[in-house]
Amino acid sequence: MIDLRLLREDPDTVRASQRARGDNEGLVDAVLAADERRRASLAEFERTRAEQKALGKQVASATPETRPHLLAQTKALAEQVKSLEADARAADVELTDLSTRIDNVVEPEAPVGGEDDYTVLREVGAPRDFAAEGFTPKDHVELGERLGAIDLDRGAKVSGARFYFLTGVGARLELALLMCAVDQAVAAGFSPVITPTLVKPEVMRGTGFLGAHSDEIYHLPADDLYLVGTSEVALAGYHSDEVVDLSQGPKRYAGWSACYRREAGSHGKDTRGIIRVHQFHKVEMFSYCRVEEARDEHQRLLAWEEEMLAKVEIPYRVIDVAAGDLGSSAARKFDCEAWVPTQGRYREVTSTSNCTTYQARRLNVREKDPREGVTSNRFVATLNGTLATTRWIVAILENHQQPDGSVLVPKALQPYMGGLDVLTPVR
């Protein structure tokens, strides 16, 4: 949901944002017109309603002679009020409908353009030179199968394409990775949370996931519930319809959940292995903070992601995602992409978004306005960022493999695997 006040006072900023995203600029004027209509029809309704209330009060104390006349008058007014109220409501629906089509206003520094127009901010760590080491790296599927870590055949047998079993050291590796992420988050002051993975429509809508990409989301029609694609959804809904206290700093949560994605638009993409799957696990950072603090908080989330990537000792790069690829909620987004040796390219393993007040508006998350002399409430900013997911296993296996098919366990994860420092092939 866009800030209507901003739209009224500074429509050019919103137009520029629409342009950067490659979205319809004309929508801005359509919303302005609808806003005008809504306010006019609301004023008309409220004026008439006030008249009706005043007159209605007289009925109670009217004398038997004046009562019939008053009743006739007020009856007619009641009719009018009813129809004016319907008008006002229709105008409001129209405004909401139009204004929710405008995605969050992008930060001016975000690169303009679409998916391929990202900017590379930095590359960290050097990819291994397997040729120099004298062997050809195996991909995560082959490594995973030989280690007895990933069972794709049985995943397909039981649940279909893009499902898998993590077994033995694979299961332990995922648990280790996620526990390590939770511990890092807790050390940084986050509250760990295990969230529901089924949410109501209004929460899913509030986070901005039911827009253009709603076919990515699993829906259970019998119960009208949605399966979340990330715990961000549940954590954004966590404080919905609340006034939160941010006087002691941001409220930070580390959500642990299963994540479900239909991958409807990606037939044929990443069909091999566990890079793109229907179900995986993730530890997600989520922060509620004051609008003035959101940009700094975004940088902090990114830094925590990089801290976690350093722990698993994987080369990666950081990209500044272009405006057209932000999704509806984000004003700015940074992805960390890990080096995948057998693909010879970087693949997304984290993503952090500054959603400013966009989600908070839709989910009604506010704080007491801390500014001097202001007594009302105002919307907060929400941000999220990935701390670890199942997909990281791909990068860990491939980057730390040995010529014999064994895989070295990153130091930081060893304590979480009972001290195990190397995964050895079982076949």
In whole angstroms, what is the distance from residue 81 CA to residue 49 CA?
6
Question: Contact letters (x/-) for RNA, 357-376, by CB under 7 A?
Answer: ---------x---------x
Closest CB to RNA among residues 28, 394: 28
In whole angstroms, what is the distance from residue 283 CA to residue 371 CA?
34
User: Which one of 21, 38, 172, 261 is the catalytic residue?
Assistant: 261
Q: How far is the CB of 37 from RNA (least distance, A)?
A: 11
Instruction: Out of 78, 121, 179, 198, name the contact with RNA by CB under 7 A.
Output: 78
In whole angstroms, what is the distance from residue 216 CA to residue 294 CA?
28
Closest CB to RNA among residues 52, 104: 52
Closest CB to RNA among residues 17, 48: 48
Which of 289, 207, 217, 216 lies closest to 246 in space, CA to CA?
289
**Residue 360: which residues within 8 A CB-CB, separation 6 or more?**
288, 366, 379, 380, 381, 382
Using an 8 Å Cβ cutoff, are 338 and 329 in contact?
A: no
Single-letter residue type at 192: P
User: Which one of 287, 329, 391, 398 is the catalytic residue?
Assistant: 391
Work out the number of other CB atoms within 10 angstroms of the CB of residue 179: 17
Active site residue 348: yes
Active site residue 240: no
In whole angstroms, what is the distance from residue 1 CA to residue 96 CA?
9
In whole angstroms, what is the distance from residue 65 CA to residue 105 CA?
62
The region of 74-82, 258-266, 350-358, 397-405 touching RNA under the rule CB under 7 A is 74-82
User: Which one of 37, 276, 290, 347 is the catalytic residue?
Assistant: 276
Interface of this chain with RNA, residues 188 to 247, rule: CB under 7 A: none
Closest CB to RNA among residues 75, 411: 75
Active site residue 378: no
Size of the site for RNA (CB under 7 A): 25
Q: How far is the CB of 395 from RNA (least distance, A)?
A: 39
Q: How far is the CB of 336 from RNA (least distance, A)?
A: 37
Q: Which two tokens stand for residue 352?
A: 């952090």
Q: How far is the CB of 71 from RNA (least distance, A)?
A: 5
**DSSP category for residue 401:** B
Active site residue 391: yes
User: Which one of 99, 231, 329, 351 is the catalytic residue?
Assistant: 351
In whole angstroms, what is the distance from residue 380 CA to residue 246 CA?
9
Work out the number of other CB atoms within 10 angstroms of the CB of residue 387: 29
Closest CB to RNA among residues 52, 329: 52
Q: Compute CA 325 distance to the chain's CA centroid, rounded to the nearest angstrom.
A: 13
Closest CB to RNA among residues 116, 375: 375
Interface of this chain with RNA, residues 31 to 70, rule: CB under 7 A: 39, 42-43, 45-47, 49-50, 52-57, 59-60
Using an 8 Å Cβ cutoff, are 409 and 174 in contact?
A: no
Active site residue 261: yes
Tell me which residues are annotated as active site: 261, 276, 348, 351, 391
Binding site for RNA (CB under 7 A): 4, 39, 42-43, 45-47, 49-50, 52-57, 59-60, 71, 74-75, 77-78, 366, 376-377
